[in-house]
Structure formats: structure tokens, C-alpha cells
Amino acid sequence: MRLCFWYFAAILCGLPPLVSAARPNIVFILADDLGIGDVNCYGGDRCLIDTPNIDALAAGGLRFTDAHVNASVCSPTRRALMTGRYNWRYGATVGSGPWGFVGPRPDTEKSTLAKVLKRSGYRTGYVGKWHLGTVMTTVDGKPQNPANVDFKKPLKYGPPQFGFDESFILPGSLDMFPYVFARNNVWQGKVTAQKGWSAFNRIGPAEKDFQDHRVLETFYSEAESFIAHQEKAAPFFLFLALTAPHTPTSPGVNWQGKSELGVYGDFVMEVDHSVERVMTALKKQGLDKNTLVMFSSDHGPAPYAGNILKATPAQIHLLEATGHHPNGPHRGYKFSIYEGGLRVPLIARWPGVINKGQTCDSMVGLNDFMATFAELSASKLSDNEGPDSISFANLLRTPDAVGGRQSLVMQSVGAFAVRDKNWKLCLCPGSGTPGSGGNATGNDPAPDVAWREALEKFKGKPTDSDLLRPPFVQLFDLAEDPHEDRNLAVEHPARVKKMVALLQQQVKNGRSTPGPKLKNDKHVKIVNISDRRLPVVLRERLAQ
């Protein structure tokens, strides 16, 4: 069993441990595509959106400045957060259809946040965007798709299989059909319509009364209902996963026109409202004093989102031209290997334990939630649970203490990155995003541009091992260069070699925490020149 260091250290030092007879209720609010600069208490003068409730949460608690997701895209982040295991250790999805019809990754449900907390007597609830895979009942027995799902029969796989006692979900993002809610795996309403929304206008199966601008309000009401039915005697865990400000940019009618920035600002303000609704519901039930409320985002802002409702490549630059910078002081956006895609807001409030107005500069990952919640609930993890999760429970009480996490593995949609204290190594030239010949994602430099420059410097056909060295990698000292402008890989070859070895060892061990070796569910190569997703210019060089 993995021991809780802080618990014993607190006893030895005469401090009251974080775990007490009254274990905290836990509410976690996860925004979708919210940039760190979209929140005023992080963005400051570079943020033109009012976020009074998120700011108040930070003023009443703790704001982390070096919090990261493990991937700059939705599902991988959510999978690692839910399981405490890096997404790339899991096998491929099975039985998938398009968009919200995505199937599960085998064994994702084995050990989850909800199951760990249930062992300690927690009542568990999930409300909002799911995107962790479902198994739907089909009329022909074939993999689920828009034409063959029997919406009169319940899901075979969803939140209940992950340990949630109560759940109310949308299978995918708000621009991913099917547009229909499921409560405890049972579809709600009559799926008789075909609908689509702004942004990508993906038209597919929809519940006849489903409207995009009503979704957040529906989720708030469901969260309030869950809280209203909890008792003070038994602890609970609520995971509230919002669908905003992810496209379609669809604020509710009460929020339209609220922000001077435009409709994007309106949507972010409605995200901010989620904190107000949760805090009001907790206070109404007399539960706010012993509830740990946490707020974060699944990665950085989408570069195709903004005040133009249709998804438009790089339109985020139009927001920046007004003075609003969704990625804060960082470089890059969703999909990229840079901090703007990977560094996220993380705020925690817990009266009586977390002092007001605190800041923590220690590195943490959202994949650390499993170990942290296990410690707070006095639930011990087995050796094969949360293999990439390190508790930061001690930082809640003592933000300036030394954090347990010194390294972190992250990914863009196309490349690995690894942190070692303040150093960050990106195993790609450029932004690590998809695209060929242009830059549809808005992240610079575009893959083919960056790879062409690297290949011009290299001269010859690179091997897998060559791709682990300059000019194909980027090394940044985030303490001195938070915007990642100065690539130091050529100047520090020993540092590059050390960090590559660190990543290789964590892949080989099947874990990044102490404990017996584990197996990954698939063979993992940190670079692979046979990967057909590599940029065209590299594939052309290899074919010569």
C-alpha cells in the first residue's frame, strides 16, 4: 500500500492532519477549453473578462501557478485525471463511432476517482461532459454510430461503471452529436431530431427539445439537485464537467451581451457563474465549511474560438488584438506542446484548512487528483492504482512547502514533452500540432515549417534516436523563459540526454511513482519515424 507521508509528518510535528473524522466533501469544477488568461485572477491586465466568482474562490483559498494537464486536448486529460494514469499507457478505443459516439479505452474504469472515494464511504456524482467513452445499445450489434443506436435502451458503459452513484451527462462535447443527455446511463427524452450548432455545425441525432444555449443551465440545476440531497453526516464527491467555453460559443439567454469583449466573454462569464451556483448551493445546505471546492480547465484555449461563431482558424488572434489573451503570458494554445496549451488555472478553497489568498508555485498535474483525494479521504491506493499520481495534499495547508512532483510527462496531439523541475523538453521542433503545409490550428510554427528547418540543419535521413536530439527537440528553462522563446537544446546536450532517459524510464516502468513495475497496455514509442501522422516534409526525407 502507498503511505500518506503528510499524514504521519503532521502527527510527528504536532499538526492536525488533513484527514479528520469529518473528511471533506469534494466538489471539482472542470471547464472545457478555458485558457489560464481567461480568468482575471491569473490574466490580470491581459484579461478583459469579468470572472468575479472564480476570483473570489482564489481570494478565499489557494491559487496554483504551475498546474498542468497531461495533454493539450480533451479526452487524454480527462482520462489521466480520472485514473491517475497517463493516457498513453492505455490501449486504443474500441467500438467507436464518430464524435460523441466514441467507445471506451479498455480498463479505464478499473480504478477511478469515484471508486477510490467510495471505498471511504463517499457518495459520488458526475454532471456534465463525459467524453471518456460509452458503450451504447445498437439495433444491429455493430459498433455504435449515428444510424444504429437504440436510444430507448440504456447505455451499457458510462459513469456508473466508473463508480458514480448519480450521473447526468452529455456523451461528448457540445459540438459532438448525439445531442442528448443520459441520466444514470438512461437516455433522456425522445431522440427524433437532427441538429447541429454554430462552430463546426456537426449535424446528427438529437433529442427533440435539446438546445445548445440551455446546456450549462441544465448542468447547474443538476449539480444543485445533487448537493441538495446530501447529508452532513456522509461525505460526497461531485465532479461538475462544463461544456464551455468550448465551441459552439453558446451562452444562455441571461448571459448574452454581458461582456464588453463579446460573445466569447459572455460564455466565459457563464462558466464563472458555475462557481457562484455551487457555492450558493453548498451554503444553503450548510455544507460549505467542510467542502473542498476546486476549479480548473482541461487544457488551454481553442485557437479557432472567439467572437466569430463559426470555427475560424487562428481567430484567437482577433481577441488578442483587443487586449485579451486567453493563454495568459504563455505561448501556444490547445493542441500544442507549449505552456499556453498545457498550463491551466487550478484553484482550491477549503475553509479552516486552506488560508485565504494563498499562492502555490509548486508543480502539480491534474493527474495528481487521485493520490490527493485518496489521502484526504484516508483511502489507501494499491500499488497498481494511480501509477502516475502524486498527492499534493500537503500543499493545501502549506503552499510554500516542497511539492512531491518534480517531473511530469505531457503531450500535444503529436509529441511528448517532459518536465524536470524548471526544465522542459519538447520532443518535436515547433508546436507539435497536426497540419500539413499550413497551420489550421493557429499554433506557430506550423509542423512542416518547423520540420523543414530542422531537416535543413540535420542533413540526411534521421533515425528514431536522431529525433531525440537537436535540431529535432526543444529545451526551455521555464524559470528564465516562461514564454519558451529560447531553445537551449544545443547548449545543454547532457540535460537533453538526461530528460530523454527520464521519460524512457517512466515509459519502461509503467509508472512514474515509486512501486513495482507495471505494464503499459500497449507498446509505447516516444518517437516513431514510421508514424504516418508525421509531417509530410519528414516523410519525404525518409523516402529519399
pLDDT above 60 (res 293): yes
Provide long-range contacts, Cβ within 8 A and 24+ apart, for 57-60: 57/275, 57/279, 57/293, 57/295, 57/347, 57/349, 58/347, 58/349, 58/357, 59/356, 59/357, 60/349, 60/351, 60/356, 60/357
Q: What is the mean pLDDT of residues 492-510?
A: 98
| Residue in the block written with cell 478555458 | 34
| pLDDT digit string, tens, across residues 427-474 | 999 999 865 433 457 898 888 889 999 999 998 999 999 999 999 999
* Total residue length of the chain: 544
Whether residue 349 is found in the same domain as residue 401: yes
Between CA 72 and CA 339 the distance in angstroms is 9
Which pLDDT band, with edges at 50, 70 and 90, does 409 fall under? very high
C-alpha dihedral sign at 434, 440, 442, 447: positive
Between CA 286 and CA 70 the distance in angstroms is 35
Contact 171, 131 (CB under 8 A): yes
- Look over the chain and give the mean of its residue pLDDT values, rounded to a whole number: 93
> Residue 418, class by beta-carbon neighbours within 10 Å (0-12 exposed, 13-18 middle, 19+ buried)?
buried
Quote the pLDDT of residue 528: 73
Query: Has residue 2 been placed in a domain?
Result: no
Which pLDDT band, with edges at 50, 70 and 90, does 7 fall under? very low
**Residue of 333, 135, 141 whose CA lies nearest to 246:** 333
The grid coordinates listed for 284 are 444553503
Cα Rg for the chain, rounded, in angstroms? 22
Q: Which of 19-28, 174-183, 204-213 has the lowest mean pLDDT?
A: 19-28
Between CA 50 and CA 48 the distance in angstroms is 7
Phi-psi region of 96 (alpha: psi -120 to 50; beta: other; left: phi over 0): beta
Q: What is the mean pLDDT of residues 329-349?
A: 97
Quote the pLDDT of residue 527: 85
Quote the pLDDT of residue 440: 59
| pLDDT digit string, tens, across residues 205-256 | 999 999 999 999 999 999 999 999 998 889 999 999 999 999 999 999 999 9
The grid coordinates listed for 315 are 481567430
pLDDT above 70 (res 267): yes
Side-chain half-sphere exposure of 423, counting CA atoms within 13 A = 16
CA angle (518 as vertex; 516, 523 as ends), nearest 5: 150
Contact 297, 32 (CB under 8 A): yes
Quote the pLDDT of residue 317: 96
| Residue in the block written with cell 444504429 | 148
Whether residue 383 is found in the same domain as residue 498: no
The grid coordinates listed for 536 are 509530410
Q: What is the mean pLDDT of residues 27-38?
A: 98
Which pLDDT band, with edges at 50, 70 and 90, does 501 fall under? very high
DSSP state of 94: -
Whether residue 377 is found in the same domain as residue 511: no
The grid coordinates listed for 454 are 530542422
DSSP state of 72: S
Q: Which residues pair with 186 in a beta bridge?
A: 183
What totals of helices (H) and strands (E) does the chain contain, helices first?
14, 16
The grid coordinates listed for 164 are 458514480
Quote the pLDDT of residue 446: 84
| Residue in the block written with cell 509531417 | 535
CA angle (15 as vertex; 13, 16 as ends), nearest 5: 145
Which pLDDT band, with edges at 50, 70 and 90, does 1 fall under? low
Quote the pLDDT of residue 148: 98
Quote the pLDDT of residue 448: 84
| Strands, sheet with 423-426, edge to edge from the N-terminal-most edge strand | 407-411, 416-420, 423-426, 474-477
Phi and psi at residue 314, to the nearest 5°: 65, 20
**Residue of 393, 56, 50, 526 whose CA lies nearest to 255:** 50
Domain final residue, candidates 352, 373, 405: 405
pLDDT above 60 (res 12): no
- Sequence-ordered strand ranges (E) for 136-263: 166-170, 182-183, 186-187, 191-195, 204-207, 236-245
Contact 129, 32 (CB under 8 A): yes
The count of other CB atoms within 10 Å of the CB of residue 273 is 22
Whether residue 392 is found in the same domain as residue 422: no
Indicate which CATH number applies to the domain containing 272.
3.40.720.10
Whether residue 96 is found in the same domain as residue 164: yes
| Residue in the block written with cell 487562428 | 314
Angle of helix 263-284 versus helix 215-228 axis, rounded to 10: 10
Between CA 261 and CA 275 the distance in angstroms is 21
Query: Has residue 21 been placed in a domain?
Result: no
Q: State percent of the chain over pLDDT 90.
A: 88
**221-235 burial code (b ≥16 CB/10 A, e <16):** ebbbebbeebeeeeb
**C-alpha distances in Å from residue 177, one per residue of 206, 386, 507:** 7, 31, 35
pLDDT above 50 (res 494): yes
Based on the structure, what is the number of domains in the chain?
2
| pLDDT digit string, tens, across residues 356-397 | 999 999 999 999 999 999 999 999 999 999 999 999 999 999
Query: Has residue 272 been placed in a domain?
Result: yes
pLDDT above 90 (res 124): yes
Between CA 503 and CA 517 the distance in angstroms is 15
Whether residue 381 is found in the same domain as residue 462: no
Quote the pLDDT of residue 532: 66
Whether residue 521 is found in the same domain as residue 475: yes
Whether residue 479 is found in the same domain as residue 373: no
Whether residue 165 is found in the same domain as residue 53: yes
Domain final residue, candidates 405, 429, 457: 405
Contact 380, 403 (CB under 8 A): no
Domain final residue, candidates 379, 405, 431: 405
Which pLDDT band, with edges at 50, 70 and 90, does 285 fall under? very high
Side-chain half-sphere exposure of 162, counting CA atoms within 13 A = 31
Whether residue 123 is found in the same domain as residue 144: yes
Whether residue 360 is found in the same domain as residue 483: no
Between CA 298 and CA 423 the distance in angstroms is 22
Whether residue 355 is found in the same domain as residue 436: no
Domain span including residue 464 = 409-543
